[in-house]
Amino acid sequence: MSFIDDNFLLQTKTAQQLYHEHAKNMPIIDYHCHLPPEDIASDRKFENLTKIWLEGDHYKWRAMRTNGVAEKYCTGNASDWEKFEKWAQTVPYTMRNPLYHWTHMELKNPFGIETILKPETAREVYEACTGMLQTDAFSVRSILRKMKVEVICTTDDPISDLKHHRSLKEEGFDIKVLPTFRCDKVLAVEQPEVFLPYLQQLEAASGISIGNVQQLLDALRQRHDFFHEQGCRLSDHGLETLYAEDYTDEEIRKIFEKGLKKESISAAEALKFKSAMLYEMALMDQQKGWTQQFHIGALRNNNTRMMRELGPDTGFDSIGDFDVARSLSRFLDKLDNTNQLAKTILYNLNPSHNELYATMIGNFNDGSTPGKIQYGSAWWFLDQKDGMEKQMNALSNMGLLSRFVGMLTDSRSFLSYPRHDYFRRTLCNLIGNDVENGELPASEMAWIGQMVENICYNNAKGFFKF
């Protein structure tokens, strides 16, 4: 019997019914990911399994390092086969980590391989998948179609020319590939080594000379307009916490001038500047009918030595314990007070904040749009069965799970789409158990099935209106 069989994670007959009749075949709207659009535009064929599966995957790198694998097999100069061999040696040690599930789900779909990956099977699996990857049936676009992907929202800096998005649109590619406006670097006024080069890039992209705060906002607005023209309907921010300090325009002017002169900026000044920029960008989103996303709570780049050697996003981030409730409330309330709060999705990384976020969204849902303020799907370290269940339980207890816009990949890998299936199985099992336990009425299975379909696809389709 296959490990990942048809009823994987589905513990009851009702869960199996909900999954097979309602969830399994729904299309995918991946409204937040980090897939490289150039690979979609070129319909890339990956040279081997390592290239598509291990490169850029800091989840796997963390596990390999923990298993005693040297860095050269993670991000270093070992051959692709050697890197895969070390990963195969690590896989048995990942039991009870979601990587064990994801690994075998991704081998089964799209490759159709049901072999358990371990040192003894490494060569067989590697050669079989690599062979398939050389064919047209396993190009990037073919994989996306096989996974029933309908919409992809990539994550893009405002300075991007979006040439790959534009070429896909002009070509008429049948899957929508849309940009997302992610402008974290413009907040870094206290880091001249980041802020000043970024202003130069923003000047070049916008054609606007940036010598004061108003010109900075004009440049951002020009890029915001450009992104909108290319189909962008979402922004995204990766933050430790929401910034919602009081400030005056004169204070922001002085802080910006200090930033231009590379003068020391205090922590309090930096918070004021970040607060002002976030607020202004939130207004831009609301004016265009966009949805704003906030990924909150990551403590990044903890290992100074490895940051120096490898740079960011290489597997040295963790869950933070930042104070979020008051600033989050103040930020949302300032916008709502003038009826300028855009549709919003909030993602937390610290699981102790689940109920906090689930109650916060209820403060600002105003009846104008179903689920206007969303408690986003379990993110990053919480993106596993236990984390998904806890997020959905908190949302169910404090809000309306039935209005949830569901899952996303948040991934850099084209093989990550089985995570939608993982979510759907977890959702169906959760609800199926409630029915079997008599906590939901079996007589209402038609509506319960509809609710599952809505969470898997329909809610996102109606919410984003791509």
CB-CB contact of 403 with 369 (8 Å): no
Residue-wise pLDDT for 442-460, tens only, equals 999 999 999 999 999 999 9
Tell me how far apart the alpha carbons of residues 30 and 359 are, in angstroms, rounded to a whole number: 25
Do you know the residue count of the chain? 466
Q: Which 8-state DSSP code applies to residue 156?
A: B
Q: Is 62 helix (H, G, I), strand (E, B) or coil?
A: helix
Tell me how far apart the alpha carbons of residues 281 and 292 are, in angstroms, rounded to a whole number: 9
Q: How crowded is residue 399: how many other Cβ atoms within 10 Å of its Cβ?
A: 21
Residue-wise pLDDT for 328-346, tens only, equals 999 999 999 999 999 999 9
CB-CB contact of 189 with 256 (8 Å): yes
CB-CB contact of 334 with 244 (8 Å): yes
Tell me how far apart the alpha carbons of residues 441 and 51 are, in angstroms, rounded to a whole number: 48
Residue-wise pLDDT for 210-245, tens only, equals 999 999 999 999 999 999 999 999 999 999 999 999
pLDDT-derived band at 2 (thresholds 50, 70, 90) equals confident
CB-CB contact of 213 with 258 (8 Å): no
Q: Which two tokens stand for residue 163?
A: 């040439």
CB-CB contact of 379 with 349 (8 Å): yes
Average pLDDT, the chain: 97
Q: How crowded is residue 74: how many other Cβ atoms within 10 Å of its Cβ?
A: 23
Mean pLDDT of 420-431: 98
Q: Write down the pLDDT at residue 1.
A: 62
Residue-wise pLDDT for 157-200, tens only, equals 999 999 999 999 999 999 999 999 999 999 999 999 999 999 99
Q: Taking each helix axis as running N to C, give the angle between helix 213-229 and helix 249-260, from 0 to 180 degrees, rounded to the nearest 10.
A: 90
Tell me how far apart the alpha carbons of residues 82 and 111 are, in angstroms, rounded to a whole number: 21
Side-by-side strand order, sheet with 176-178: 28-30, 149-153, 176-178
Q: Which two tokens stand for residue 421?
A: 């299936």
Domains of the chain are 13-44+148-464 (3.20.20.140), 45-138 (1.10.2020.10)
